A = this chain, B = another copy of it.
Amino acid sequence: MSKDSLLGGLLAAGFGEKSCLSRYQSVLYRKISPYKPSSYLLSRLRKYEDLHKHCGPHTKSYRKTIKLLKSGHSVGPTDCNYVVWISYSGLGNRILTLASAFLYALLTNRVLLVDRGKDMADLFCEPFPEKSWLLPLDFPLLPKFNSIDKESPHCFGKMLKNNIINSSTEQPPPFVYIYLSHDYGDHDKLFFCDQEQTLLGKVPWLIMKTNNYFAPSLFLMPSFEQELSKLFPEKETTFHHLGRYLFHPSNQVWGLITRFYKAYLAESNERIGIQIRTFDSGTAPFQYVIDQIMACTLKKKLLPEVNRQEAFVTPAENQKSIAVLMTSLNSGYSDAVRNMYWEQSAMSGEVVSVYQPSHEEVQQSEKQGHNRKAWAEMYLLSTTEALITSAWSTFGYVAQGLGGVTPWILYKPQNRTAPDPPCGRAMSMEPCFHAPPFYDCKAKTGVDTGALVPHVRHCEDMSWGLKLVGSHREL
């Protein structure tokens, strides 16, 4: 086993190879990351793994802490504290929230446990040695997960609002719900204030429900600042490293990935990914999206021009082959691009082939085979050398982050017309936090959180979103 197959120490050794082929074979498909994880991150991961081993499911400490939950009493300090991640929303969203929750666990010395939902166990390998990250099925609160919303009485925001707990509470309850979904309220957002974090530090069980990549706002909190800059000296690599550490496709999904790669992508000189996600109603494909794809790829020279005059161009001797991997719920977009390069020749004789693994037509987040394919496609996109993504889509964020590729973003069409410019280069490969708080915890007043520090800025694809940006990026 080469050292590379452990991603330069990012991954822990000592896993059985057969049970999770992707952990060791990813280097055969995805280029080695140009970003080295900090040695501090590596040591913190190893430390986390030890903690997880100590506190994971069915350990003595776990059983002890579970009991507190059952007693319902308020408690003193505990040996192990947990953040339980609830499986919720589309797969792209889930991958981002899970990474956020893990980062939060690292920062707060908690152990991350994962609600398996319909398919988490089917999609991912175990990331931590020896002890599972899956929440045991007999976890007492599990039956409540589905119905948790911001009005739930055990919701941290709700409890603050109703003054059931506050910063002077000495012995808070054994668990609270952390609700950080797009529709969360002002009190839920206090999660991102140091004072409330101190309070939460005394709660052994945090049950977290979110569909947002909330890491950027953690970077704005003074209490985490120092630790975060040691973990991620290059802030733009936060999801990149955490994602590569956490998310290993299960053998089933790995079969989809490797078979597709070998059958369609492996032989090409160059691979380009185009991820199309539309949020407009009506029957796809939309002509304005086709126009936008063409305008972006040709204007930005991501794909070669075609010869519209002459139907047949005698091709150059040594032709470069370019494989275009397109993903979308609809097959019309890849059909259009494939047809363009079939009906006309590329100007300089490049051989352009276009592939789309699936076209599921409708989002079916709960169908098992469906999310296997969705995961395989995000991963396949992450193996490409250049990436064009759709505004607002977490599906694309995952691909760019795992791949370590700064994408070109197709801006969101307004009024069913292709925007001009059709696309632009992202500032960083980080995902966008779609629903960040705009609150100054100290001044207790509204503030533009995208204008406080150079490394947390508003997103290119969503003006009110926040994303991490590398220090090397020009302002």
Q: Give me the interface of A with B, judged by CB distance under 8 Å.
A: 21, 251-252, 254-256, 258-260, 262-264, 267, 311-315, 319, 321, 331, 339, 341-345, 351-353, 357-358, 369
The answer on a CB contact under 8 Å between B263 and A353 is: yes
The answer on a CB contact under 8 Å between B255 and A351 is: no
User: For the complex, what is the distance from the CA of A21 to the CA of B313, rounded to whole Å?
Assistant: 11
User: For the complex, what is the distance from the CA of A259 to the CA of B339, rounded to whole Å?
Assistant: 11
- Which residue of B is nearest A339, CB measured? B358
User: For the complex, what is the distance from the CA of A260 to the CA of B351, rounded to whole Å?
Assistant: 9
7 pairs of residues in contact across A and B, judged by CB atoms under 8 Å:
A255-B313, A259-B345, A259-B351, A260-B342, A263-B351, A331-B331, A342-B357
User: For the complex, what is the distance from the CA of A321 to the CA of B263, rounded to whole Å?
Assistant: 8
Q: For A352, what are the chain B residues with a Cβ–Cβ distance below 8 Å? A: 263
Q: For A358, what are the chain B residues with a Cβ–Cβ distance below 8 Å? A: 339
- Which residue of B is nearest A369, CB measured? B343
Q: For A264, what are the chain B residues with a Cβ–Cβ distance below 8 Å? A: 353
- Which residue of B is nearest A256, CB measured? B342
A339 shortest CB reach to chain B, Å:
8
Q: For A341, what are the chain B residues with a Cβ–Cβ distance below 8 Å? A: 259, 263
Sorted from nearest, which 6 A-B pairs have the closest CB atoms? A255-B312, A263-B353, A252-B311, A251-B312, A262-B351, A263-B351
User: For the complex, what is the distance from the CA of A391 to the CA of B331, rounded to whole Å?
Assistant: 29
Given A251-B311, A339-B358, 16 other A-B residues pairs in contact with their CB atoms under 8 A: A21-B312, A254-B312, A255-B311, A255-B313, A255-B344, A256-B342, A256-B343, A262-B315, A262-B319, A262-B351, A263-B321, A263-B353, A264-B353, A267-B267, A331-B331, A343-B369
A61 shortest CB reach to chain B, Å:
35
User: For the complex, what is the distance from the CA of A143 to the CA of B319, rounded to whole Å?
Assistant: 48
A388 shortest CB reach to chain B, Å:
20
A345 shortest CB reach to chain B, Å:
6
A251 shortest CB reach to chain B, Å:
4
User: For the complex, what is the distance from the CA of A353 to the CA of B339, rounded to whole Å?
Assistant: 19
Q: For A342, what are the chain B residues with a Cβ–Cβ distance below 8 Å? A: 256, 259-260, 263, 357
Q: For A314, what are the chain B residues with a Cβ–Cβ distance below 8 Å? A: 21
User: For the complex, what is the distance from the CA of A163 to the CA of B125, rounded to whole Å?
Assistant: 86
A192 shortest CB reach to chain B, Å:
41
User: For the complex, what is the distance from the CA of A21 to the CA of B260, rounded to whole Å?
Assistant: 34
- Which residue of B is nearest A18, CB measured? B314
Q: For A321, what are the chain B residues with a Cβ–Cβ distance below 8 Å? A: 263
A19 shortest CB reach to chain B, Å:
11
Q: A21-B312, A319-B262 given as contacts; is B345 within 8 A of A255 (CB)?
A: yes
A23 shortest CB reach to chain B, Å:
13
